[in-house]
């Protein structure tokens, strides 16, 4: 009975954690998975979004609502940032992977330092009534601070999937990823489409930031601990697959949770990469990625 | 002129000699000026920048000394460089402090990790240096001009949290669980805890390490519950401390647990205390200073009242109980020794400190032969009656009750489960 209790709780916790990992990775699934831009600054942008949510929460605004309100400013910031990237690097033929990595790595440092200067280095958190209590289903206890953010992910994934598959702009985003020249021949400006996609990815970072800060306090450097895991989720899912990102996140979350319960917690951080390596060895396009 | 290999070699030798010269010539020499210079690095940026409020302690000490006419009639000048929380930056900074700035006295950087990189230099150059919360940094080197500002006591590396186990023994605990972050500091403390538990006849029924990036403790807490301990010794860092205490709120612990905490970093910081509020109740954890009636040292209240507005302005820890009083006390060690000896000679000042007690804002300090406090005075405090009313409650006595050491006790231990129900 005790083992069953542990297994069910580990599965429930893993499901919640995995869903949150997927939310953290969604923006990257667009920038890296679809646009092929190695945006290593994405976790730092998530943390910047979390700070925006924390500051708004001080006025009694619910973190999720605050995140929705901040999506538009972050979308605009994303557009500006992409414009800078495109003019400084891509249009000069310098958008190769190494230079892009350097740019985004530098951007993440700048974001961290800006947060330190603006808000200091103390841990920041949000005040919500459900933190500290849990939903009990039999002998399974699911903390609300994981459940609420985890429930956001399927909603966001569904809306994003609808947008990318059922709207012209969404189709254009996917088309740009496949063949930029063909898109421009058909009268669509690829730069504008990529700018828009980058804006969406940046706006999603605020939602992810809200989810993260509901689960626990953050500091300006909190993005660093997620950088490897979010890339692992995107690559494991297969580049550019949005529903696959949710599935990959959940696989990693459950695997980590089971390892933590039945092996040693110290092994848990290696799980994402072990699964990633094993999968890539067997299926180089990722679990749900289509070969090109 | 064509540069041959021979020219190049000569240039290299000349450059090396030039670089080494200051270090060679300035050994034993100090600033001959109308100022007494005191220098250090501090983690103003980077992951440890939460400790930068330590500088406020130095600055208040400097201001107080200068307002009183300086030391030996000379103005005290404080030189602080940012080490960016990186151990690799510290050696160059301390070389500059000694060779270029020619400081008279040094404080270490914050903590053992950064200090480890500069202690060999301090010993090699025979420099007086005050340790800032550096656990066991001089235990192996045994530099005779090192003095510890924090009350870890002798054998601090293994015994700093012993008070937790003393309380457990007094309370008749027989089954101990140990939970620690997988870092050097926590692992050492956890292993020390296991050894002390076994010495005291307690059975360690669960021993878990977790990666320092872990934020979900559901599985770990369930394993602890399954082991049914009577006490849980925890060595954690701020973000994980929060996650652990939230996890207890959500999942609970057995009523058999009477004692919980010990080595958690985080519940000393105002931001976490404000955020966690009642979730802290019952936790017995280490601290260095709390505003209890048994710890009313001369000058401490005045110091904290002056610290608060500066901290507010600089957006650092508004309470300042943990580090700043000890950096102020570090300065007081220098003042006391320089005034008593009438000298800034490193050997004279060190000899005096080894032989004499010093009254500071954190109480009287006596040093042993390697510069540790002669008695451990790490406090084990229990959070009691904490509510949602915010930070001000922690400025009053009775919220962080001292349980150990007995000489400073300000209240009785309440079993963990009872303290959380109250």
Please report the DSSP string for B361-380 in residue order. Answer: TTEEE-B-TTSSBSS---EE
Q: Using CB atoms, which residue from B247, B249, B275 is nearest to A217?
A: B275
Q: Which of A123, A145, A218 sits opposite B272 (nearest CB)?
A: A123
Measuring CA to CA, how many Å separate B175 from each of A162, B178, B203, B229? 56, 10, 5, 5
**Residue A102: which CATH number?**
1.10.3470
User: How many independent structural domains does chain A possess?
Assistant: 1
Q: Is the pLDDT of residue B112 over 90?
A: no
Does position B11 have pLDDT exceeding 60, yes or no? no
Distance from CA of B266 to the nearest CA of A (A): 9
| Residue B3 in this model has a pLDDT that exceeds 70 | no
CB–CB of B250 and A141 under 8 A? yes
Domain hosting residue A49, numbered range: 2-282
Chain A environment of B226 (Cβ under 8 Å): 2, 6
**What's the CATH class of domain B158-293+377-421?**
alpha beta
Q: Which residues does A97 contact at the CB level (< 8 Å), separation at least 6? A: A38
Higher-confidence residue of A182 and B77: namely B77
Per CB-CB distance under 8 Å, the chain A contacts of B271 are: 122-124, 217
Please give, rounded to a whole number of angstroms, the shortest distance from the CA of A143 to a CA of chain B. 6
- Report whether pLDDT(B23) > 90: no
From chain B, the residues in CB contact with A261 under 8 A are 219, 222-223
What is d(CA B396, CA A67) in angstroms, rounded to the nearest whole number? 37
Question: Minimal CA–CA distance to B259: which of B302, B224, B292?
Answer: B224
CB B397 within 8 A of CB B410: yes
What is the rounded CA–CA span in Å between residue B201 and residue B188? 20
Note whether residue A61 is domain-resident: yes
Task: With beta carbons under 8 A apart, name residues in chain B contacting A131.
Answer: 246
CB-nearest to B279 from A132, A217, A221 is: A132
Are residues A143 and B238, on separate chains, in Cβ contact within 8 Å? Answer: no
Tell me the C-alpha distance between A127 and B283, whole Å.
21
In this structure, which CATH number among 1.10.3720.10, 1.20.1250.20, 3.40.50.2300, 3.40.109.10 belongs to the domain B13-155+305-365?
3.40.50.2300
Inform me whether the pLDDT recorded for B257 exceeds 80.
Answer: yes
Q: How far apart are CA B230 and CA A123, in angstroms?
A: 31
The more confidently predicted of residues A5 and A246 is A246
At residue B2 the predicted structure's pLDDT band, cuts being 50, 70 and 90, is: low
DSSP code of residue B99: I
**Res B381: pLDDT:** 97
Whether residue A291 is contained in a domain is answered as: no
CA A19 from chain centre, in angstroms, equals: 10
Residues constituting chain A:
292
Judged by CB atoms closer than 8 Å, whether chains meet at B222 and A6 is answered as yes
In a domain, A128, yes or no: yes
Q: Is residue A228 part of a domain?
A: yes
* B239 vs A5, A144, A217: nearest CB: A217
Per-residue pLDDT for B18 more than 80? no
Residue of A51, A217, A227 best to disrupt the B interface, most CBs of B under 10 A: A217
Tell me whether residues A141 and B52 touch, CB distance under 8 A.
Answer: no
Question: Which band of pLDDT confidence, cut at 50, 70 and 90, is reported for residue B28?
Answer: very low
pLDDT for position A32: 87
Domain boundaries, chain B: 13-155+305-365, 158-293+377-421
- Nearest-Cα residue of chain A relative to residue B179: A265
For residue B401, the distance in angstroms to the closest alpha carbon of chain A comes to 24
Q: How far is CA B184 from CA A52, A270, B287, B407, in A?
A: 34, 19, 20, 31
Closest partner residue to A268 among B50, B214, B239, by Cβ?
A: B214
Mean of pLDDT values over B221-232? 92
CB contact under 8 A, B250 and A143: yes
Using an 8 Å Cβ cutoff, are B178 and B194 in contact?
Answer: yes
Q: At B41, give phi and psi (nearest 5°).
A: -110, 155
User: Quick one: pLDDT band at residue A120, thresholds 50, 70, 90?
Assistant: confident
Give the CB-side neighbour count of residue B63, counting CA atoms within 13 A. Answer: 9
Whole-prediction pTM value? 0.81
Domain presence at residue A66:
yes
Is residue A290 domain-resident? no
- C-alpha–C-alpha distance, residues A222 and A216, integer Å: 11
Q: CA-CA distance, B419 to B278, in Å (whole number)? A: 10
| Residue in chain A nearest B272 by alpha carbon | A123
Give the integer Cα–Cα distance in Å for A16 and A10. 10
Query: Where residue B107 falls among pLDDT bands split at 50, 70, 90?
Result: very high
The CA–CA distances, whole Å, from B280 to B246, B272, B381 equal: 9, 9, 11
Contacts of B207 in chain A (CB under 8 A): none
Asked if A133 lies within 8 A of B250 by C-beta distance, the reply is yes
Inspect the interface and report whether the beta carbons of B50 and A121 lie closer than 8 Å.
yes
Residue B125 C-alpha, separation from nearest chain A C-alpha, in angstroms: 34
Within this chain, domains B13-155+305-365 and B158-293+377-421 share the same CATH topology: yes
Which of A200 and B32 is assigned the larger pLDDT?
Answer: A200
Collect all residues of chain B within an 8 Å Cβ-Cβ radius of residue A215. Answer: 215-216
Percent of chain A with pLDDT over 70: 96
Task: State the Cα–Cα distance between residues A157 and A152, nearest whole angstrom.
Answer: 9
Structural domain includes residue A289:
no
- To which residue do tokens 């508004």 refer? B318
Give B222-225 contacts, CB < 8 A, sequence gap 24+: B222/A5, B222/A6, B222/A9, B222/A261, B222/B251, B223/A6, B223/A261, B224/B177, B224/B179, B224/B253, B225/B251, B225/B252, B225/B253, B225/B254
Q: Is the pLDDT of residue B310 over 80?
A: yes
Q: What mean pLDDT comes out for the span B323-338? A: 96
Q: What is the mean pLDDT of chain A?
A: 87
pLDDT digits (tens, 9 = 90+) for B168-220: 999 999 999 999 998 777 887 888 899 899 999 999 999 999 988 788 888 89
Q: Looking at the complex, report in whole angstroms how far the Cα of residue A5 sits from the nearest Cα belonging to chain B.
A: 9
Least confident of A50-64, A269-283, B51-65, B368-382: A269-283
Contact residues, chain A, for B239 at CB < 8 Å: 123, 216-219, 222
B253 touches B283 (CB < 8 A): no
Kindly indicate the confidence band of residue B24, based on its pLDDT and cuts at 50, 70 and 90: very low
Q: Strands, E, within B125-174: which ranges?
A: 129-132, 146-148
Give mean pLDDT, residues B80-106: 93
CB atoms within 10 A of CB A26: 28
Residue corresponding to tokens 């990529």: A194
Per residue in A62-76, pLDDT (tens digit) is: 999 999 999 999 999
pLDDT band at A109 (very low <50, low <70, confident <90, very high): very high
- More confidently predicted of B422 and B264: B264
């Amino acid at each position: 009975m005790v083992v069953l209790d542990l297994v069910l709780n580990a599965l429930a916790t893993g499901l919640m954690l995995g869903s949150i990992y997927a939310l953290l990775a969604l923006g990257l699934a667009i920038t890296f998975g679809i646009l092929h831009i190695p945006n290593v600054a994405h976790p730092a942008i998530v943390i910047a979004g979390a700070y925006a949510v924390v500051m708004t929460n001080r006025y009694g605004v619910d973190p999720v609502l605050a995140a929705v309100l901040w999506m538009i400013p972050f979308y605009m910031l994303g557009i500006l940032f992409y414009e800078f990237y495109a003019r400084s690097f891509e249009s000069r033929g310098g958008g190769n992977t190494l230079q892009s990595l350097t740019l985004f790595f530098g951007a993440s440092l700048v974001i961290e330092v800006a947060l330190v200067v603006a808000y200091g280095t103390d841990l920041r958190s949000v005040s919500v009534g459900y933190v500290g209590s849990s939903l009990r289903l039999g002998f399974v206890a699911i903390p609300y601070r994981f459940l609420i953010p985890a429930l956001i992910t399927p909603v966001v994934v569904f809306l994003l999937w609808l947008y990318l598959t059922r709207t012209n702009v969404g189709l254009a985003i996917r088309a740009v990823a496949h063949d930029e020249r063909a898109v421009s021949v058909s009268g669509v400006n690829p730069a504008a489409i990529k700018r828009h996609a980058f804006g969406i990815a940046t706006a999603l970072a605020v939602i992810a930031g809200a989810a993260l800060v509901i689960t626990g306090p953050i500091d300006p450097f909190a993005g660093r601990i997620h950088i490897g895991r979010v890339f692992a989720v995107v690559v494991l899912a297969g580049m550019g697959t949005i529903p696959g990102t949710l599935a990959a996140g959940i696989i990693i979350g459950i695997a980590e949770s089971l390892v933590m319960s039945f092996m040693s917690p110290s092994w848990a951080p290696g799980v994402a990469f072990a699964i990633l390596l094993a999968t890539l060895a067997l299926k180089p396009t990722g679990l749900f990625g289509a070969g090109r | 002129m064509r540069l041959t290999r021979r020219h190049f070699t000569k240039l290299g030798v000349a450059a090396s000699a030039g670089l080494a010269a200051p270090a060679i010539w300035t050994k034993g020499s100090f600033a001959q000026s109308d100022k007494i210079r005191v220098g250090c690095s501090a983690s103003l940026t980077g992951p440890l920048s939460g400790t930068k409020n330590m500088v406020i302690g130095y600055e208040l000490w400097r201001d107080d000394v200068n307002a009183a006419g300086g030391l030996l009639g000379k103005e005290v000048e404080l030189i602080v460089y940012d080490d960016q929380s990186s151990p690799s930056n510290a050696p160059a900074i301390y070389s500059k402090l000694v060779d270029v700035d020619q400081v008279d006295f040094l404080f270490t950087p914050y903590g053992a990790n950064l200090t480890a990189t500069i202690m060999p230099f301090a010993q090699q150059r025979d420099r007086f240096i005050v340790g800032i919360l550096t656990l066991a940094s001089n235990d192996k080197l045994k530099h005779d001009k090192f003095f510890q500002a924090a009350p870890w006591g002798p054998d601090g590396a293994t015994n700093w949290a012993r008070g937790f186990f003393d309380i457990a023994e007094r309370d008749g605990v027989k089954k101990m669980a140990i939970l620690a972050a997988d870092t050097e500091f926590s692992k050492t403390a956890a292993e020390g805890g296991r050894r002390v538990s076994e010495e005291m006849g307690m059975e360690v029924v669960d021993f878990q390490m977790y990666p320092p990036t872990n934020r979900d403790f559901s599985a770990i807490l369930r394993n602890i519950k399954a082991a049914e301990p009577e006490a849980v010794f925890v060595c954690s860092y701020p973000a994980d401390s929060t996650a652990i205490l939230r996890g207890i709120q959500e999942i609970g612990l057995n009523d058999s647990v009477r004692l919980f905490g010990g080595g958690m970093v985080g519940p000393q910081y105002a931001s976490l205390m404000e955020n966690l509020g009642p979730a802290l109740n019952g936790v017995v954890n280490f601290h260095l200073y709390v505003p209890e009636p048994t710890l009313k040292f001369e000058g401490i209240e005045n110091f904290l009242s002056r610290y608060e507005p500066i901290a507010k302005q600089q957006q650092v820890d508004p309470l300042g109980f943990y580090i700043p009083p000890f950096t102020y006390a570090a300065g007081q060690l220098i003042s006391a020794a320089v005034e008593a000896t009438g000298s800034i000679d490193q050997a004279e000042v060190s000899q005096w400190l080894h032989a004499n007690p010093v009254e500071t804002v954190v109480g009287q300090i006596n040093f042993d032969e390697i510069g540790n406090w002669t008695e451990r005075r790490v406090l084990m405090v229990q959070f009691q009656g904490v509510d949602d009313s915010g930070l001000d409650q922690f400025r009053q006595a009775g919220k962080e009750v001292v349980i150990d050491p007995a000489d400073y006790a300000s209240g009785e231990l309440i079993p963990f489960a009872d303290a959380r129900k109250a």
